[in-house]
């Protein structure tokens, strides 16, 4: 008998929407041309890339020339952190009197690709970094962000939605703050947000957010893996971080992943059309899940804000039950969940996100992230909760609790 399989790890990746796959299929075989080629095969592929760029521009409310395609969020975020620093460093060198390093503001609970890029710049002596603390519910304090701004601040990078605990950051408010501060500054502060976890559910129009740079990834929105895009506001001082043939307006060299780019365009179009419907469905299921778990299992704590939270995320701590044990016990029952970011899977260190909101290492080890999606059903949620109760009870008995 085939084991029942339930996927509740949509923050790690999402299944490919059949409509997205159908759009991509021709570009694997019949329409296989290189979009940089001048012949008809190449022009056919080029038209598909530019059509996807237009879809992305419409989604984010910008010009097509302000969208570049990348391999995903990690590449985009590295391009932002390093590319803006290089861009400003070259400007500062022209002013021999200015001996200040470029200053970047981010948070303690950003995605690891942002934190790693920032730490690399620190190690190389290329930039000064301020890592903002977050409040216990996992939300950035705007006043803390304002106080951190210095004369040499060039970039503020704050994620729109945290990938582990689902908290929504006050991006619009921070965008307004930076816009106001820039009115009286010679060197403008660039504002970036990693919107990877927000695109399915929140407004991502760049003018509404006040962002100069915005990161998106296809595989989080029912699109293919290995492709993403970066919005770059016109005249933003950013330099390439890899050399090559000068693709993507000279900022991202390398042959275009045409099927992936086509899939990203379709995924964004569907996300735009179906956002409100999916938001309501997923939020109702998530609230049902949280309500049952909090009522039926003792020693449980919900991490993050109850209000400023993405509708598909629930992150818990279970007292006297290791998160890894919970994950493996549920996996044996055919249920996929997570203990944190999939990008850090296999790392036994406690989550830096949970430590940032003030939890102890012991508490952090007992965390479980459950993230729902548009294909999740109430029957699956109830099956998961019943299985979770069994696994928690078994682990607590083993621990003698």
d(CA 369, CA 338): 5
How do beta strands 6-7 and 335-336 pair?
A: parallel
Say which residues have a Cβ less than 8 Å from residue 211's Cβ, sequence separation at least 6.
171, 175, 191, 192, 193, 231, 233
Catalytic-residue membership of 118: no
* 388 bridge partner residues: none
DSSP category for residue 9: B
d(CA 278, CA 374): 6
CA torsion, points 69, 75, 79, 82, in degrees to nearest 10? Answer: 180
Backbone angles phi, psi at 346, to 5 degrees: 90, -10
Tell me what percent of the chain is helix, strand and coil, each rounded to the nearest 5. 45, 15, 40
| Cα–chain center distance at 277 | 21
Q: Which of 113, 118, 204, 343 is catalytic?
A: 343
Sign of CA dihedral 369, 374, 378, 379: negative
Does an H or E element contain 20, and which? helix 18-24
CB 221 within 8 A of CB 268: yes
Backbone angles phi, psi at 9, to 5 degrees: -135, 45
Q: Give the catalytic positions in this structure.
A: 343
């Amino acid at each position: 008998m085939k084991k029942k399989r339930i996927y509740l790890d949509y923050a790690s990746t999402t299944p490919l929407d059949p409509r997205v796959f159908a759009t991509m299929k021709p570009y694997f075989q019949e329409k296989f041309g290189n979009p940089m080629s001048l012949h008809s095969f190449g022009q056919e592929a080029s038209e598909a890339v530019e059509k996807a760029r237009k879809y992305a521009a419409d989604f984010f409310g910008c010009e097509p020339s302000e969208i570049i395609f990348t391999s995903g969020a990690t590449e985009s975020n590295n391009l932002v952190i390093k590319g803006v620093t290089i861009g400003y460093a070259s400007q500062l060198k022209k002013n021999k009197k200015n001996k200040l390093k470029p200053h970047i503001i981010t948070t303690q609970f950003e995605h690891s690709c942002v934190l790693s890029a920032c730490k690399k710049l620190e190690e190389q002596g290329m930039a000064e970094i301020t890592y903002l603390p977050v409040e216990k519910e996992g939300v950035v304090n705007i006043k803390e962000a304002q106080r951190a701004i210095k004369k040499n601040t060039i970039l503020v990078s704050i994620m729109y939605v945290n990938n582990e605990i689902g908290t929504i950051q006050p991006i619009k408010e921070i965008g307004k703050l930076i816009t106001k501060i820039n009115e009286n500054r010679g060197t403008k502060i660039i504002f970036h947000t990693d919107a990877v976890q927000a695109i399915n559910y929140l407004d991502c129009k760049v003018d509404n957010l006040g962002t100069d740079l915005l990161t998106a990834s296809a595989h989080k929105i029912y699109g293919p893996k290995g492709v993403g895009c970066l919005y770059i506001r016109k005249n933003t001082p950013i330099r390439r971080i890899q050399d090559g043939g000068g693709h993507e307006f000279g900022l991202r060299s390398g042959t275009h992943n045409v099927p992936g780019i086509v899939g990203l365009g379709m995924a964004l179009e569907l996300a735009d059309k179906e956002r409100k419907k999916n938001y309501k469905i997923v939020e109702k299921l998530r609230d049902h899940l949280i309500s049952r778990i909090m009522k039926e299992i003792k020693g449980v704590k919900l991490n993050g804000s109850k209000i400023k939270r993405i509708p598909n995320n629930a992150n818990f701590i279970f007292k006297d039950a290791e998160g890894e044990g919970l994950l493996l016990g549920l996996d044996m029952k055919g249920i996929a969940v997570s203990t944190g970011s999939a990008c850090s899977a296999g790392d036994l260190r406690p989550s830096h996100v949970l430590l940032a909101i003030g939890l102890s290492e012991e508490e952090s080890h007992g965390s479980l992230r459950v993230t729902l999606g548009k294909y999740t059903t109430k029957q699956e949620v109830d099956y998961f909760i019943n299985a979770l109760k069994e696994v928690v009870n078994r682990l607590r008995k083993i621990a003698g609790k």
